[in-house]
Amino acid sequence: MKTKQNQGLFDCSRRDFVKVAGLGAAAMAIPGLIRNASAAPASGISQEVITTDVLIVGGGIAATFAAIKAKKNGVDVTIVDKGTVGRSGLSPFFGSFRMFKESSSITREQYIEAVSKAGNYLNRRDYLEMYMDDSADIAEEFLSWGVGEQLRGGHGSTYRGQIIKNDIRLIERTMITELFKKNGKIAGAIGFPMEEDRAVIIKAKAVVLCSGSGALKTPGFPCNNITHDGDAMSYRIGAEITGKEFCDFHWTHWEDPGDMYGNWERHSFNAISPGVHTLSSGRRPQARSMALQAHNGNIPFFMRGRSGGSGERPSGTPTGGDTGERPDAAGGVRRAPAGVRSLDLPIVWGSTAGMSSHKCEGIFPKGNKCSSSIPGLFAAGDALFTGGATYSSGGSSASGSAVQGARAGRYAAEYVKENKQQNISDSELAQSKERIFAPRTSEKGFSPIWVTQVLQGIMVPYYVINIKKQIRLEAALSNVEFLREQFAPNLLANDTHQLRLAHETRNMLLNSEMKLRAGLMRTETRGDHYREDYPDTDDKNWLAWIIITKDGDNMKLTRRAIPGAWKPQR
Protein backbone atom coordinates (compact mmCIF):
# COMPACT_ATOMS: atom_id res chain seq x y z
CA MET A 1 0.00 0.00 0.00
CA LYS A 2 2.86 2.39 0.68
CA THR A 3 3.98 4.06 -2.52
CA LYS A 4 7.22 5.94 -2.99
CA GLN A 5 5.24 9.16 -3.12
CA ASN A 6 3.52 8.73 0.19
CA GLN A 7 6.38 7.25 2.20
CA GLY A 8 7.38 10.78 3.17
CA LEU A 9 3.97 11.44 4.65
CA PHE A 10 4.46 8.57 7.06
CA ASP A 11 7.75 9.96 8.21
CA CYS A 12 6.35 11.26 11.45
CA SER A 13 8.27 11.04 14.72
CA ARG A 14 6.58 10.02 17.95
CA ARG A 15 6.97 13.57 19.22
CA ASP A 16 5.25 14.97 16.10
CA PHE A 17 2.45 12.48 16.56
CA VAL A 18 1.87 13.46 20.19
CA LYS A 19 1.88 17.11 19.15
CA VAL A 20 -0.77 16.47 16.50
CA ALA A 21 -2.90 14.40 18.86
CA GLY A 22 -2.76 17.12 21.50
CA LEU A 23 -3.89 19.94 19.30
CA GLY A 24 -7.59 19.33 19.80
CA ALA A 25 -9.76 21.41 17.50
CA ALA A 26 -6.76 22.82 15.66
CA ALA A 27 -5.97 19.29 14.48
CA MET A 28 -8.68 19.75 11.86
CA ALA A 29 -6.10 21.64 9.84
CA ILE A 30 -3.34 19.08 10.29
CA PRO A 31 -3.28 15.52 8.95
CA GLY A 32 -4.71 13.14 11.54
CA LEU A 33 -1.72 10.81 11.58
CA ILE A 34 -2.06 7.82 13.88
CA ARG A 35 -0.13 4.65 14.69
CA ASN A 36 -1.36 1.10 14.92
CA ALA A 37 0.02 -0.84 17.87
CA SER A 38 -1.67 -4.07 16.81
CA ALA A 39 -0.50 -4.12 13.16
CA ALA A 40 -0.11 -7.67 11.82
CA PRO A 41 0.06 -9.20 8.31
CA ALA A 42 -3.30 -9.94 6.62
CA SER A 43 -2.21 -13.55 5.98
CA GLY A 44 -2.56 -14.21 9.72
CA ILE A 45 -6.17 -13.06 9.79
CA SER A 46 -8.67 -15.90 9.99
CA GLN A 47 -11.40 -16.42 7.44
CA GLU A 48 -14.78 -18.04 7.20
CA VAL A 49 -16.22 -19.23 3.87
CA ILE A 50 -19.98 -19.44 3.36
CA THR A 51 -21.62 -20.79 0.22
CA THR A 52 -25.10 -19.70 -0.72
CA ASP A 53 -27.26 -19.24 -3.82
CA VAL A 54 -28.32 -15.64 -3.27
CA LEU A 55 -26.50 -13.12 -1.10
CA ILE A 56 -28.57 -10.13 -0.03
CA VAL A 57 -26.54 -7.14 1.17
CA GLY A 58 -28.55 -4.93 3.55
CA GLY A 59 -31.20 -5.28 6.20
CA GLY A 60 -33.91 -2.74 5.40
CA ILE A 61 -37.29 -3.17 3.80
CA ALA A 62 -35.83 -3.94 0.34
CA ALA A 63 -33.55 -6.65 1.75
CA THR A 64 -36.29 -8.23 3.83
CA PHE A 65 -38.67 -8.55 0.91
CA ALA A 66 -35.85 -9.72 -1.39
CA ALA A 67 -34.80 -12.45 1.01
CA ILE A 68 -38.33 -13.71 1.65
CA LYS A 69 -39.21 -13.87 -2.05
CA ALA A 70 -35.93 -15.51 -3.06
CA LYS A 71 -36.37 -18.12 -0.34
CA LYS A 72 -39.97 -18.76 -1.36
CA ASN A 73 -38.64 -19.44 -4.86
CA GLY A 74 -36.68 -22.39 -3.53
CA VAL A 75 -33.09 -21.15 -3.26
CA ASP A 76 -30.64 -20.81 -0.38
CA VAL A 77 -30.46 -17.21 0.86
CA THR A 78 -28.04 -15.33 3.11
CA ILE A 79 -28.55 -11.77 4.35
CA VAL A 80 -25.58 -9.72 5.52
CA ASP A 81 -26.20 -6.40 7.24
CA LYS A 82 -23.56 -3.92 8.30
CA GLY A 83 -25.64 -3.04 11.36
CA THR A 84 -28.47 -4.75 13.18
CA VAL A 85 -31.56 -5.43 11.11
CA GLY A 86 -34.31 -3.04 12.09
CA ARG A 87 -31.89 -0.49 13.50
CA SER A 88 -29.78 0.39 10.50
CA GLY A 89 -30.34 2.13 7.18
CA LEU A 90 -33.34 4.39 6.60
CA SER A 91 -36.10 1.78 6.81
CA PRO A 92 -36.81 2.01 10.55
CA PHE A 93 -37.75 5.67 10.14
CA PHE A 94 -40.23 6.07 7.33
CA GLY A 95 -43.74 7.16 8.24
CA SER A 96 -45.82 6.95 5.09
CA PHE A 97 -46.16 3.86 2.95
CA ARG A 98 -48.14 4.40 -0.23
CA MET A 99 -49.51 2.24 -2.98
CA PHE A 100 -51.18 2.73 -6.31
CA LYS A 101 -54.75 1.74 -7.01
CA GLU A 102 -56.49 2.84 -10.16
CA SER A 103 -59.69 4.69 -9.36
CA SER A 104 -62.13 7.17 -10.83
CA SER A 105 -59.97 10.01 -9.46
CA ILE A 106 -56.73 8.85 -11.08
CA THR A 107 -56.16 6.54 -14.02
CA ARG A 108 -52.96 4.65 -14.73
CA GLU A 109 -52.09 6.99 -17.59
CA GLN A 110 -52.65 10.09 -15.47
CA TYR A 111 -50.48 8.69 -12.71
CA ILE A 112 -47.65 7.86 -15.10
CA GLU A 113 -47.76 11.35 -16.57
CA ALA A 114 -47.90 13.02 -13.12
CA VAL A 115 -44.97 11.05 -11.67
CA SER A 116 -42.92 11.45 -14.83
CA LYS A 117 -43.53 15.19 -14.86
CA ALA A 118 -42.54 15.45 -11.20
CA GLY A 119 -39.42 13.36 -11.91
CA ASN A 120 -38.56 15.72 -14.74
CA TYR A 121 -38.95 12.79 -17.16
CA LEU A 122 -35.78 11.07 -15.98
CA ASN A 123 -37.63 8.50 -13.86
CA ARG A 124 -37.54 4.89 -15.05
CA ARG A 125 -41.06 4.38 -16.32
CA ASP A 126 -40.64 0.62 -16.47
CA TYR A 127 -40.09 0.64 -12.70
CA LEU A 128 -43.03 2.96 -12.18
CA GLU A 129 -45.17 0.38 -13.99
CA MET A 130 -43.72 -2.29 -11.67
CA TYR A 131 -44.69 -0.15 -8.68
CA MET A 132 -48.20 0.37 -9.99
CA ASP A 133 -48.60 -3.34 -10.66
CA ASP A 134 -47.32 -4.60 -7.29
CA SER A 135 -47.61 -1.94 -4.60
CA ALA A 136 -51.15 -2.78 -3.45
CA ASP A 137 -50.29 -6.45 -2.88
CA ILE A 138 -47.02 -5.54 -1.20
CA ALA A 139 -48.82 -3.09 1.13
CA GLU A 140 -51.23 -5.83 2.10
CA GLU A 141 -48.38 -8.23 2.81
CA PHE A 142 -46.53 -5.57 4.81
CA LEU A 143 -49.58 -4.87 6.93
CA SER A 144 -50.00 -8.60 7.51
CA TRP A 145 -46.68 -8.50 9.39
CA GLY A 146 -48.42 -6.43 12.04
CA VAL A 147 -46.59 -3.20 11.31
CA GLY A 148 -49.72 -1.10 11.86
CA GLU A 149 -49.56 -1.61 15.61
CA GLN A 150 -45.81 -1.19 15.79
CA LEU A 151 -45.50 2.15 14.10
CA ARG A 152 -45.45 4.36 17.14
CA GLY A 153 -42.67 2.30 18.64
CA GLY A 154 -40.87 1.83 15.33
CA HIS A 155 -41.45 -0.90 12.80
CA GLY A 156 -37.83 -1.92 12.35
CA SER A 157 -38.07 -4.98 14.58
CA THR A 158 -40.63 -6.42 12.19
CA TYR A 159 -38.00 -7.03 9.51
CA ARG A 160 -35.86 -9.16 11.78
CA GLY A 161 -38.89 -11.14 12.89
CA GLN A 162 -39.83 -11.92 9.30
CA ILE A 163 -36.30 -12.97 8.38
CA ILE A 164 -36.13 -15.37 11.31
CA LYS A 165 -39.66 -16.66 10.74
CA ASN A 166 -38.73 -17.53 7.16
CA ASP A 167 -35.60 -19.37 8.33
CA ILE A 168 -33.22 -17.17 6.35
CA ARG A 169 -29.50 -17.16 7.26
CA LEU A 170 -28.80 -13.78 8.85
CA ILE A 171 -25.36 -12.31 9.47
CA GLU A 172 -25.41 -8.96 11.25
CA ARG A 173 -22.82 -6.34 12.17
CA THR A 174 -20.74 -7.42 9.19
CA MET A 175 -19.68 -4.97 6.50
CA ILE A 176 -19.43 -6.21 2.92
CA THR A 177 -16.56 -4.38 1.26
CA GLU A 178 -15.88 -6.00 -2.12
CA LEU A 179 -17.82 -7.95 -4.73
CA PHE A 180 -16.24 -10.77 -6.70
CA LYS A 181 -16.64 -10.92 -10.46
CA LYS A 182 -15.41 -13.90 -12.44
CA ASN A 183 -15.83 -14.59 -16.19
CA GLY A 184 -17.86 -11.38 -16.36
CA LYS A 185 -20.41 -12.67 -13.81
CA ILE A 186 -20.93 -12.12 -10.11
CA ALA A 187 -19.25 -14.70 -7.88
CA GLY A 188 -19.87 -13.46 -4.32
CA ALA A 189 -18.53 -10.93 -1.85
CA ILE A 190 -16.16 -10.42 1.06
CA GLY A 191 -16.42 -8.43 4.27
CA PHE A 192 -15.59 -8.47 7.96
CA PRO A 193 -17.49 -8.42 11.27
CA MET A 194 -17.37 -5.47 13.66
CA GLU A 195 -16.12 -7.47 16.64
CA GLU A 196 -12.95 -9.21 15.41
CA ASP A 197 -10.34 -9.36 12.66
CA ARG A 198 -11.86 -12.06 10.46
CA ALA A 199 -12.65 -12.20 6.75
CA VAL A 200 -16.16 -13.32 5.86
CA ILE A 201 -16.14 -14.75 2.32
CA ILE A 202 -19.48 -15.49 0.73
CA LYS A 203 -19.54 -17.47 -2.48
CA ALA A 204 -22.83 -16.77 -4.23
CA LYS A 205 -24.34 -17.26 -7.68
CA ALA A 206 -26.27 -13.99 -7.38
CA VAL A 207 -25.97 -10.89 -5.20
CA VAL A 208 -28.84 -8.47 -4.52
CA LEU A 209 -27.62 -5.11 -3.30
CA CYS A 210 -30.17 -3.64 -0.90
CA SER A 211 -27.53 -1.50 0.74
CA GLY A 212 -29.53 1.72 0.60
CA SER A 213 -28.15 5.09 -0.37
CA GLY A 214 -25.68 7.13 1.66
CA ALA A 215 -24.73 10.54 2.97
CA LEU A 216 -21.76 12.22 4.59
CA LYS A 217 -22.58 11.32 8.19
CA THR A 218 -24.40 14.59 8.71
CA PRO A 219 -26.70 15.19 11.67
CA GLY A 220 -30.45 15.37 11.11
CA PHE A 221 -31.59 12.31 9.23
CA PRO A 222 -30.50 9.06 10.85
CA CYS A 223 -28.35 8.08 7.89
CA ASN A 224 -24.96 7.69 9.54
CA ASN A 225 -24.46 4.03 8.78
CA ILE A 226 -25.09 4.22 5.07
CA THR A 227 -22.24 5.48 2.92
CA HIS A 228 -23.02 4.39 -0.65
CA ASP A 229 -21.17 1.13 -0.14
CA GLY A 230 -23.29 -0.63 -2.78
CA ASP A 231 -22.58 1.99 -5.42
CA ALA A 232 -18.87 1.95 -4.59
CA MET A 233 -18.51 -1.85 -4.64
CA SER A 234 -20.41 -2.28 -7.87
CA TYR A 235 -18.66 0.68 -9.56
CA ARG A 236 -15.31 -0.92 -8.73
CA ILE A 237 -16.26 -4.10 -10.61
CA GLY A 238 -17.64 -2.21 -13.62
CA ALA A 239 -21.36 -1.54 -12.97
CA GLU A 240 -23.10 1.60 -14.21
CA ILE A 241 -24.00 4.26 -11.63
CA THR A 242 -26.26 7.27 -12.14
CA GLY A 243 -28.25 10.13 -10.53
CA LYS A 244 -25.42 11.58 -8.49
CA GLU A 245 -26.17 15.20 -9.41
CA PHE A 246 -29.67 15.18 -7.86
CA CYS A 247 -29.02 16.30 -4.30
CA ASP A 248 -31.45 15.86 -1.44
CA PHE A 249 -32.67 19.04 0.26
CA HIS A 250 -33.86 17.83 3.67
CA TRP A 251 -33.27 20.13 6.62
CA THR A 252 -32.66 19.85 10.34
CA HIS A 253 -32.88 22.05 13.40
CA TRP A 254 -30.15 24.47 14.45
CA GLU A 255 -30.32 23.36 18.09
CA ASP A 256 -29.65 19.64 18.57
CA PRO A 257 -29.58 18.95 14.84
CA GLY A 258 -29.36 15.22 15.56
CA ASP A 259 -32.61 15.18 17.54
CA MET A 260 -34.41 13.26 14.86
CA TYR A 261 -37.49 12.57 16.97
CA GLY A 262 -37.95 16.20 17.96
CA ASN A 263 -37.34 17.49 14.47
CA TRP A 264 -39.06 14.80 12.44
CA GLU A 265 -42.06 13.81 14.51
CA ARG A 266 -44.31 13.40 11.52
CA HIS A 267 -42.03 10.88 9.89
CA SER A 268 -41.24 8.91 13.00
CA PHE A 269 -44.60 8.52 14.63
CA ASN A 270 -47.12 8.49 11.87
CA ALA A 271 -49.37 5.66 10.84
CA ILE A 272 -48.97 3.59 7.72
CA SER A 273 -51.75 4.60 5.43
CA PRO A 274 -51.79 2.77 2.17
CA GLY A 275 -53.68 4.75 -0.42
CA VAL A 276 -53.17 6.50 -3.71
CA HIS A 277 -50.67 9.24 -3.34
CA THR A 278 -51.66 12.62 -4.67
CA LEU A 279 -48.91 14.35 -6.51
CA SER A 280 -48.30 18.01 -6.15
CA SER A 281 -44.72 18.74 -7.11
CA GLY A 282 -44.10 20.28 -10.48
CA ARG A 283 -40.92 20.44 -12.48
CA ARG A 284 -39.21 22.72 -9.97
CA PRO A 285 -39.58 21.44 -6.45
CA GLN A 286 -40.31 23.97 -3.75
CA ALA A 287 -37.62 22.41 -1.63
CA ARG A 288 -34.97 24.09 -3.68
CA SER A 289 -36.40 27.53 -3.09
CA MET A 290 -35.17 27.50 0.52
CA ALA A 291 -31.54 26.98 -0.44
CA LEU A 292 -31.92 29.73 -2.99
CA GLN A 293 -33.34 32.07 -0.39
CA ALA A 294 -30.40 31.32 1.88
CA HIS A 295 -28.11 32.08 -1.02
CA ASN A 296 -29.83 35.42 -1.44
CA GLY A 297 -29.46 36.23 2.26
CA ASN A 298 -33.08 35.65 3.27
CA ILE A 299 -32.35 33.90 6.54
CA PRO A 300 -33.21 32.50 9.03
CA PHE A 301 -35.82 29.93 8.05
CA PHE A 302 -38.39 28.74 10.51
CA MET A 303 -39.91 25.33 11.01
CA ARG A 304 -43.29 26.80 10.28
CA GLY A 305 -42.03 27.76 6.84
CA ARG A 306 -44.09 30.11 4.75
CA SER A 307 -45.55 33.05 6.63
CA GLY A 308 -46.34 35.59 3.98
CA GLY A 309 -42.76 36.50 3.11
CA SER A 310 -42.51 39.40 5.53
CA GLY A 311 -38.74 39.68 5.25
CA GLU A 312 -38.41 38.95 8.95
CA ARG A 313 -39.68 35.47 8.20
CA PRO A 314 -39.05 34.64 4.55
CA SER A 315 -41.34 32.31 2.68
CA GLY A 316 -40.36 28.74 1.89
CA THR A 317 -41.78 25.45 2.93
CA PRO A 318 -39.40 22.98 4.51
CA THR A 319 -39.34 19.60 2.82
CA GLY A 320 -41.09 17.09 5.03
CA GLY A 321 -41.31 17.41 8.78
CA ASP A 322 -43.73 19.73 10.49
CA THR A 323 -44.76 22.68 8.40
CA GLY A 324 -47.22 24.23 10.81
CA GLU A 325 -50.70 23.84 12.14
CA ARG A 326 -52.90 21.60 10.07
CA PRO A 327 -56.62 20.93 10.12
CA ASP A 328 -57.42 17.61 11.73
CA ALA A 329 -60.09 15.12 10.72
CA ALA A 330 -62.51 16.45 13.36
CA GLY A 331 -62.41 19.96 11.90
CA GLY A 332 -60.02 21.33 14.55
CA VAL A 333 -56.39 22.36 14.27
CA ARG A 334 -53.54 19.90 14.73
CA ARG A 335 -50.42 21.22 16.45
CA ALA A 336 -47.05 19.62 17.05
CA PRO A 337 -47.44 17.29 20.03
CA ALA A 338 -45.61 17.77 23.32
CA GLY A 339 -41.89 17.10 23.05
CA VAL A 340 -41.78 18.19 19.43
CA ARG A 341 -40.06 21.42 18.58
CA SER A 342 -41.86 24.71 18.39
CA LEU A 343 -42.71 25.48 14.82
CA ASP A 344 -41.42 29.03 15.30
CA LEU A 345 -37.81 27.94 15.73
CA PRO A 346 -35.24 28.28 12.97
CA ILE A 347 -33.94 25.40 10.87
CA VAL A 348 -30.72 24.76 9.01
CA TRP A 349 -29.69 22.91 5.88
CA GLY A 350 -27.87 19.71 5.17
CA SER A 351 -29.56 16.95 7.14
CA THR A 352 -28.77 14.49 4.35
CA ALA A 353 -25.86 16.18 2.58
CA GLY A 354 -24.17 13.75 0.24
CA MET A 355 -27.39 11.90 -0.52
CA SER A 356 -29.51 12.20 -3.64
CA SER A 357 -33.27 12.39 -3.32
CA HIS A 358 -34.80 8.99 -2.53
CA LYS A 359 -34.28 6.57 -5.43
CA CYS A 360 -32.66 9.25 -7.61
CA GLU A 361 -29.18 7.71 -7.44
CA GLY A 362 -27.60 4.30 -7.50
CA ILE A 363 -27.09 1.41 -9.85
CA PHE A 364 -28.53 2.08 -13.29
CA PRO A 365 -30.94 -0.76 -14.02
CA LYS A 366 -30.22 -2.82 -17.09
CA GLY A 367 -33.67 -3.83 -18.25
CA ASN A 368 -36.71 -4.10 -16.04
CA LYS A 369 -35.65 -7.00 -13.81
CA CYS A 370 -33.70 -5.10 -11.13
CA SER A 371 -30.49 -6.23 -12.78
CA SER A 372 -27.30 -4.27 -13.30
CA SER A 373 -24.91 -4.37 -16.22
CA ILE A 374 -23.12 -7.28 -14.49
CA PRO A 375 -24.90 -10.64 -14.82
CA GLY A 376 -25.92 -11.95 -11.41
CA LEU A 377 -25.73 -8.54 -9.72
CA PHE A 378 -29.19 -7.24 -8.82
CA ALA A 379 -30.23 -4.18 -6.81
CA ALA A 380 -33.38 -2.90 -5.15
CA GLY A 381 -34.61 -0.01 -3.02
CA ASP A 382 -32.52 3.08 -2.46
CA ALA A 383 -29.52 1.27 -3.98
CA LEU A 384 -31.23 1.24 -7.39
CA PHE A 385 -31.81 4.36 -9.49
CA THR A 386 -35.43 4.57 -10.61
CA GLY A 387 -36.77 7.91 -9.32
CA GLY A 388 -35.73 10.63 -11.77
CA ALA A 389 -34.45 14.13 -11.06
CA THR A 390 -36.34 14.52 -7.79
CA TYR A 391 -38.39 12.52 -5.30
CA SER A 392 -41.27 12.17 -7.72
CA SER A 393 -43.88 10.33 -5.70
CA GLY A 394 -43.75 10.99 -1.95
CA GLY A 395 -44.37 7.97 0.22
CA SER A 396 -43.40 5.60 -2.56
CA SER A 397 -39.80 5.38 -1.47
CA ALA A 398 -40.45 2.85 1.27
CA SER A 399 -43.14 0.98 -0.64
CA GLY A 400 -41.10 1.23 -3.86
CA SER A 401 -38.15 -0.36 -2.02
CA ALA A 402 -40.42 -3.17 -0.86
CA VAL A 403 -41.79 -3.72 -4.38
CA GLN A 404 -38.33 -3.75 -5.95
CA GLY A 405 -36.93 -5.95 -3.18
CA ALA A 406 -39.64 -8.54 -3.77
CA ARG A 407 -39.08 -8.54 -7.51
CA ALA A 408 -35.27 -8.59 -7.21
CA GLY A 409 -35.45 -11.59 -4.85
CA ARG A 410 -37.60 -13.46 -7.33
CA TYR A 411 -35.45 -12.55 -10.34
CA ALA A 412 -32.25 -13.50 -8.49
CA ALA A 413 -33.76 -16.90 -7.63
CA GLU A 414 -34.64 -17.44 -11.29
CA TYR A 415 -31.10 -16.45 -12.28
CA VAL A 416 -29.38 -18.90 -9.92
CA LYS A 417 -31.43 -21.78 -11.27
CA GLU A 418 -29.80 -21.23 -14.65
CA ASN A 419 -26.30 -20.15 -13.67
CA LYS A 420 -23.58 -22.02 -11.82
CA GLN A 421 -21.26 -20.69 -9.12
CA GLN A 422 -18.24 -18.90 -10.58
CA ASN A 423 -14.99 -20.11 -9.06
CA ILE A 424 -12.85 -17.68 -7.06
CA SER A 425 -9.24 -18.81 -6.71
CA ASP A 426 -7.37 -18.86 -3.40
CA SER A 427 -4.94 -16.24 -4.65
CA GLU A 428 -7.80 -13.90 -5.55
CA LEU A 429 -9.25 -14.37 -2.09
CA ALA A 430 -5.86 -13.68 -0.50
CA GLN A 431 -5.42 -10.48 -2.53
CA SER A 432 -8.86 -9.28 -1.62
CA LYS A 433 -8.23 -9.96 2.05
CA GLU A 434 -4.98 -8.04 1.81
CA ARG A 435 -6.79 -5.00 0.36
CA ILE A 436 -9.61 -5.07 2.89
CA PHE A 437 -7.41 -5.34 5.93
CA ALA A 438 -4.73 -2.91 4.71
CA PRO A 439 -5.79 -0.20 7.21
CA ARG A 440 -5.46 -2.76 10.04
CA THR A 441 -2.11 -4.11 8.94
CA SER A 442 -0.32 -0.79 8.33
CA GLU A 443 1.72 0.65 11.15
CA LYS A 444 1.08 4.31 10.40
CA GLY A 445 -1.59 6.16 8.52
CA PHE A 446 -4.34 8.75 8.61
CA SER A 447 -7.40 8.71 10.80
CA PRO A 448 -10.56 8.00 8.77
CA ILE A 449 -12.45 10.25 11.19
CA TRP A 450 -10.19 13.16 10.36
CA VAL A 451 -10.46 12.57 6.59
CA THR A 452 -14.27 12.39 6.88
CA GLN A 453 -14.33 15.69 8.77
CA VAL A 454 -12.24 17.36 6.10
CA LEU A 455 -14.52 15.90 3.41
CA GLN A 456 -17.61 17.20 5.20
CA GLY A 457 -16.03 20.65 5.28
CA ILE A 458 -15.56 20.53 1.51
CA MET A 459 -18.89 19.03 0.48
CA VAL A 460 -21.61 19.94 2.96
CA PRO A 461 -21.89 23.74 2.45
CA TYR A 462 -25.12 24.48 0.57
CA TYR A 463 -23.21 26.48 -2.05
CA VAL A 464 -21.30 23.35 -3.09
CA ILE A 465 -23.82 20.57 -3.08
CA ASN A 466 -27.17 22.34 -3.47
CA ILE A 467 -26.59 25.68 -5.19
CA LYS A 468 -23.93 24.79 -7.72
CA LYS A 469 -21.63 26.80 -9.96
CA GLN A 470 -18.76 25.61 -12.13
CA ILE A 471 -15.99 27.42 -10.28
CA ARG A 472 -17.11 26.14 -6.86
CA LEU A 473 -17.64 22.58 -8.11
CA GLU A 474 -14.16 22.56 -9.63
CA ALA A 475 -12.61 23.88 -6.42
CA ALA A 476 -14.36 21.19 -4.36
CA LEU A 477 -13.40 18.51 -6.89
CA SER A 478 -9.76 19.42 -6.76
CA ASN A 479 -9.85 19.10 -2.94
CA VAL A 480 -11.66 15.77 -3.08
CA GLU A 481 -9.16 14.46 -5.64
CA PHE A 482 -6.37 15.43 -3.28
CA LEU A 483 -7.98 13.53 -0.39
CA ARG A 484 -8.51 10.53 -2.66
CA GLU A 485 -4.88 10.45 -3.81
CA GLN A 486 -3.10 11.34 -0.58
CA PHE A 487 -5.20 9.86 2.19
CA ALA A 488 -7.61 7.22 0.89
CA PRO A 489 -4.84 4.66 0.18
CA ASN A 490 -3.26 5.32 3.57
CA LEU A 491 -6.08 5.16 6.06
CA LEU A 492 -5.35 3.43 9.32
CA ALA A 493 -7.58 1.48 11.66
CA ASN A 494 -6.73 0.64 15.26
CA ASP A 495 -9.63 -1.77 15.51
CA THR A 496 -12.39 -3.26 13.37
CA HIS A 497 -14.73 -0.35 14.10
CA GLN A 498 -12.16 1.99 12.59
CA LEU A 499 -11.69 -0.46 9.74
CA ARG A 500 -15.34 0.06 8.95
CA LEU A 501 -14.85 3.83 9.14
CA ALA A 502 -11.89 3.56 6.78
CA HIS A 503 -13.96 1.74 4.16
CA GLU A 504 -16.86 4.11 4.64
CA THR A 505 -14.54 7.09 4.19
CA ARG A 506 -13.23 5.68 0.92
CA ASN A 507 -16.78 5.13 -0.30
CA MET A 508 -17.89 8.64 0.70
CA LEU A 509 -14.89 10.08 -1.13
CA LEU A 510 -15.82 8.15 -4.25
CA ASN A 511 -19.43 9.25 -3.99
CA SER A 512 -18.39 12.88 -3.54
CA GLU A 513 -16.26 12.73 -6.65
CA MET A 514 -19.20 11.27 -8.58
CA LYS A 515 -21.49 14.03 -7.29
CA LEU A 516 -19.12 16.83 -8.23
CA ARG A 517 -18.30 15.44 -11.67
CA ALA A 518 -21.95 14.78 -12.51
CA GLY A 519 -22.89 18.22 -11.14
CA LEU A 520 -20.32 19.81 -13.44
CA MET A 521 -21.38 17.83 -16.48
CA ARG A 522 -25.11 18.64 -16.30
CA THR A 523 -25.09 22.19 -17.60
CA GLU A 524 -28.72 22.94 -16.82
CA THR A 525 -31.10 23.05 -13.85
CA ARG A 526 -33.46 20.10 -13.38
CA GLY A 527 -35.27 18.74 -10.34
CA ASP A 528 -32.89 18.59 -7.41
CA HIS A 529 -29.92 19.67 -9.49
CA TYR A 530 -29.57 23.46 -9.45
CA ARG A 531 -26.87 25.30 -11.39
CA GLU A 532 -26.62 28.98 -10.58
CA ASP A 533 -24.77 29.48 -13.88
CA TYR A 534 -27.30 27.39 -15.86
CA PRO A 535 -30.64 28.21 -14.18
CA ASP A 536 -32.86 26.96 -17.04
CA THR A 537 -34.00 23.45 -17.85
CA ASP A 538 -32.55 22.32 -21.17
CA ASP A 539 -34.78 19.58 -22.60
CA LYS A 540 -33.03 19.74 -25.95
CA ASN A 541 -29.77 18.42 -24.55
CA TRP A 542 -30.55 17.01 -21.15
CA LEU A 543 -33.48 14.64 -21.33
CA ALA A 544 -30.68 12.24 -20.51
CA TRP A 545 -29.03 10.37 -17.64
CA ILE A 546 -25.40 10.72 -16.72
CA ILE A 547 -23.94 7.22 -16.53
CA ILE A 548 -20.79 6.84 -14.43
CA THR A 549 -18.42 3.92 -14.99
CA LYS A 550 -14.88 3.00 -14.05
CA ASP A 551 -12.48 3.31 -16.95
CA GLY A 552 -9.11 2.00 -15.73
CA ASP A 553 -8.13 4.42 -12.99
CA ASN A 554 -10.44 7.12 -14.31
CA MET A 555 -14.07 7.93 -13.75
CA LYS A 556 -15.96 8.07 -17.03
CA LEU A 557 -19.21 10.03 -17.42
CA THR A 558 -21.46 9.44 -20.41
CA ARG A 559 -24.71 11.10 -21.43
CA ARG A 560 -27.47 8.59 -22.24
CA ALA A 561 -30.71 9.90 -23.74
CA ILE A 562 -33.99 8.67 -22.28
CA PRO A 563 -36.16 6.61 -24.69
CA GLY A 564 -38.10 8.75 -27.16
CA ALA A 565 -41.44 7.41 -25.90
CA TRP A 566 -40.70 8.75 -22.39
CA LYS A 567 -40.12 12.32 -23.54
CA PRO A 568 -42.76 14.91 -22.59
CA GLN A 569 -45.56 15.24 -25.12
CA ARG A 570 -45.67 18.93 -26.06
Give the shortest CB-402-to-ligand FAD separation in angstroms.
8
Least distance CB 220 / ligand FAD (angstroms): 9
User: Least distance in Å: CB of 319 to ligand FAD?
Assistant: 11
- Residues ≥6 apart with Cβ < 8 Å to 244: 356, 361, 511, 514, 515, 517, 518, 519, 546, 548
Contact 207, 188 (CB under 8 A): yes
Out of 32, 83, 188, 318, which residue is the one contacting ligand FAD (CB under 6 A)? 83
The verdict on 452 binding ligand FAD (CB under 6 A) reads: no
Interaction pattern, residues 164-203, with ligand FAD; x per rule: CB under 6 A: -----------xx---------------------------
Say how many Å lie between the first and final Cα of the chain, rounded.
56
Radius of gyration of the chain (CA): 23
Compute the least distance from the CB of residue 290 to ligand FAD, in Å. Answer: 18
Instruction: Work out which of 52, 73, 91, 505 binds ligand FAD, going by CB under 6 A.
Output: 91
Site size for ligand FAD (CB under 6 A): 41
Contact 56, 377 (CB under 8 A): no
Strand duo 174-182 + 33-35: pairing: unpaired
* Near ligand FAD by CB under 6 A: residue from 60, 219, 388, 448: 60
**Residue 93 sits in the site that holds ligand FAD (CB under 6 A):** yes
**Is residue 397 a contact point for ligand FAD (CB under 6 A)?**
yes
Percentage helix, strand, coil for the chain under 3-state DSSP, each rounded to 5: 40, 20, 45
- Rounded to whole angstroms, the Cα distance separating 488 from 225 reads 19
* CA–CA gap between residue 150 and residue 129 (Å, rounded): 30
Is residue 59 part of the contact set for ligand FAD (CB under 6 A)?
yes
CA–CA separation, 524 vs 31, rounded Å?
A: 37
If binding is defined by CB under 6 A, does position 156 make contact with ligand FAD? no
Q: Does 90 contact ligand FAD by CB under 6 A? A: yes
Binding flag, residue 229, ligand FAD (CB under 6 A): yes
Q: Do 45 and 63 form a contact (C-beta atoms < 8 A)?
A: no
In the complex, minimum distance from the CB of residue 266 to ligand FAD, in angstroms, rounded to a whole number: 8
| 505 lies in the site for ligand FAD, by CB under 6 A | no
| Per-residue mark of binding to ligand FAD, 132-151 (x: CB under 6 A) | --------------------
> In this chain, which stretch among 78-86, 161-169, 532-540, 558-566 interacts with ligand FAD, using CB under 6 A?
78-86
Cα dihedral 190/193/198/201 (nearest 10): -20
Phi, psi of 202, deg, nearest 5: -120, 115
Applying the rule CB under 6 A, the residues between 346 and 375 that interact with ligand FAD are 358
Question: Least distance in Å: CB of 533 to ligand FAD?
Answer: 31
User: Where do the DSSP E strands lie in 93-228?
Assistant: 169-171, 174-182, 185-193, 198-209
**Interatomic CA distance for residues 183 and 538, integer angstroms:** 41
Closest contact distance (angstroms) between CB of 180 and ligand FAD is 14
User: CA triplet 104, 105, 107: central angle to 5 degrees?
Assistant: 75
249 near ligand FAD, judged by CB under 6 A: no
Q: What residue ranges bind ligand FAD (CB under 6 A)?
A: 57-63, 80-83, 88-91, 93-96, 175-176, 210-212, 221-223, 225-226, 229, 264, 267, 358, 381-383, 395-398, 401
